[in-house]
Structure 1
Amino acid sequence: MLAGSGILRAQEGPGGERGAFAGGQMVRGTVTAVSADQITVKTEEGDVYQVAVSANTRVMKDRQPVKVADIKAGDGVGAMGVMDAPTKTVHAVFVAVIDAEQVKKAREELGKIYITGKITAIDMDNAKLTVMRPDHVSQVIQADEGTSFRRGGRREQASVAGAPAVGANTGGTGGESITLADVKVGDMVMGRGAVKNGFFVPTELRVMDASARGQGRRHEAGTPADSTNGNSTASPQ
């Protein structure tokens, strides 16, 4: 699970979608190979991209500059730059890195201590929302009297718009206070919380209109679908 708000997007800087960076594009995935000037990345969908790096590429990990040689197979990366579609190569100006252990931890925590994804259904009577997560698992979450809703906010606009997949650090500032009645199918959401009585209950849910997302298909990495559930509809208990 690689996505940015939280661990990865906090390092990425502005944007994270196609067109968010002066015509640049973003590829997020898991590293499968590294050479002196190229990183091979596999996305959640199984697509393989090459990330070309140069002396002008900014490479960051934990908000600190690192060398390409420090990147290992299994790490997560988000690479922003100019896409050469025929060769599936991103000529990167910026690469954000998450080490493999952080990626593993974030995968384990998704749906348990934080949620992120796209709303596919709303049950107003029971205050439940069905969220399609970036790992292609559909999870029903439930709001309660302790849940607050906010729409937008500068950090969230960069984060939620890309359907973030990892990172428990989903906090931010700004945004408009809203209610569950203002949330609609198609909105992107993210937030921290905990599992109660079999459902994830967010303490705060950040919401963004799907229409505010960047144009074009993003190249996103995520967790594999739950290997114990072939239809990818399990909700963590």
Structure 2
Amino acid sequence: MTATLPDWPQVCDALAAELLGAAGLSAPPVDALKVAQRLQVELVWDASQSGRARVQLLGGRPVIFLRPGQRPERTQWAVAHELGELFAWRVAERLDLAPGEWLPRQREEIANALAQRLLLPDAWFAAAHRDCRGDLFALKDTFRTASHELIAWRLLDLEGLRVATVIDGGRVSRRRSNGPDYRAPIHPAEEATWRESHATARTARRSFHGGDVRAWPIHEPGWKREIAVTEWDEL
């Protein structure tokens, strides 16, 4: 049966699992650099390039050029993303899309989805989420090559209505939901929870009518970020 375009997340899940299997990985964490090398993709450090990473064919073989000096999680994401770019054609093929039938933004979306699923594979992530009951820090310990923020966004792919919010320096910087288009202001319970986490540098949690929210502090010298994940009964 030919896949349809709405099937693309499931196709990305399946392809990521196949690529990890081909690379010989059977459990987290996923080192994207090792995955690339085991898939016969050469890695070259290039301090002269402006972007974090780029992939190109040299002599018919894929090479990923990496800018050195990045945070480890950013390097992991950069390699995973370029692998997503490299193998996006397989997703298009399984969706029965001809090369001219998908837009550049769709290719980028699929590359991002593949990158997420390489670092946070569907089955492994869902099992870990159940085992730790959704604790962001426990998930980070298991999937240590992925950033806290990437893990929070991946939570939106699981069953259940959720909103993930990133707060930088005491201000909401990003907010996403897996429910309907959600543009309502942050709920008072959400704000109280992340402000508590901001002030105490500890995980905070509140239940309120309609939902439950947890906030985790990701604090470094001179910089404070909190990530809040709200589970809603309905949106």
**Under a length normalisation based on structure 2, what TM-score does the superposition of the two structures give?**
0.26
**Under a length normalisation based on structure 1, what TM-score does the superposition of the two structures give?**
0.26
Q: Quick check: which one's strand share is greater? A: 1
Q: Quick check: which one's helix share is greater? A: 2
Q: Which has the larger radius of gyration?
A: 2
